[in-house]
Structure formats: structure tokens, C-alpha cells
Structure 1
């Protein structure tokens, strides 16, 4: 099975940027230790600090799906409920 790349874009409410950022940062170390995680890198837009992006690579889609069902993601969702304006996720395959 091909490696899976995930690009997740999270836009926080203007008054909740620091809350969302802190909660996203909490996900990094625990996710990097998960089976199948190749990289899990958080970025913040230089001109729009409310926009965050995770760039992730996983050994397989199945291992990524296991990650998506983990407790720490549910805890993030609960902690940031009502604080995120938009969330988009793209599953991608490297072609070059």
C-alpha cells in the first residue's frame, strides 16, 4: 500500500487562536509516537495567525485511521469545540 499524505487546514476563531494553537501543539509528540507516523508537522500561516496546517505522512491509510480514532484527538475536539471556524482535510498520494 502507498504511503498516505494528509494535509489538514484548521482556521481558528480570531479570539481563540492561542487556545487552538495550544491544543494542536499537544497533539504533536503523542502522534509522532504512534505506529505508522512518518512525520506530523504543524505550521502557522505567517500573515493569518488563525490558520494552522498539519502536514502528515503515514505508512498506510489504515494506520492513519487508527490515529483518527485515538483518545487524544477526541480530547482536542472537545477542548476546541466552538473555537474553530473551518477544518478541511485532504488525503493525498505523492506522485513525483
Structure 2
């Protein structure tokens, strides 16, 4: 199995930035403890503070798929659905 990386971008609806930030911070610890999690870092855009970026690395696509089905991610999605204006996820593999 080969390692995969993920860039996940969420843009908060105006006025929802801090609620979304807190919810995102709350899933970092549980996700880092998941089997196959190599990196799970949350960033905030310096010029666009409503934009948050997760940079992730997983041992395999299977580990990433298990993460997507985890209880804490399901709870996070349910809690934040009304706070997110845009969500984009890109799964990539390192080539150099």
C-alpha cells in the first residue's frame, strides 16, 4: 500500500469562523490517534481567516477511508454542516 496525502479546505460562513475553528481543533487529537494517521495538521489562511486547511498524510487509502467513516468525523460533520460555505478535498500522492 502506498501513502496518500490530503489537502482539505473549508471556508466558514461569515460569522461562523470561531465555531468552525473550535470544532476543527476538537477533531485533531482523535484523528492523530487513528491507525494509519501520519500527519494531521490544521492551518488557517493568513489573508482569508474564514479559510481553514487540513494537511494530512495517511499510510494508505484504506486508512483514509476508515478515517472518513470514524465516529468523531461523523459527529464533526453533523455539528458543522450549517457553518461551512465551501468544502473541498483533494487526495494526492507524492511523486517527487
What's the TM-score bracket when you normalise by the shorter of the two chains?
A: over 0.9
Structure 1 ranges of 4+ moved more than 2 A: none
Q: Within the alignment, does 1:32 sit opposite 2:17 as a pair?
A: no
Coordinate RMSD, CA, aligned: 0.6
TM-score (norm 1): 0.98
- Cα shift at 1:5: 0.2
* Distance in 2 separating the partners of 1:21 and 1:35: 24
State the match for 2:69 in structure 1.
Answer: 69
Q: How much does 1:79 deviate?
A: 1.1
* Structure 2: 5+ residue stretches without partners: none
- Give TM-score scaled by structure 2 length: 0.98
Counterpart in 2 of 1:80? 80
CA distance in 2, matches of 1:93, 1:16: 32
Unaligned runs of 5+ in 1: none
Task: Give, in whole Å, the separation in 2 of the partners of 1:65 and 1:21.
Answer: 23
SS in 1 for 2:77: helix
User: What's the offset of the Cα at 1:2?
Assistant: 1.4
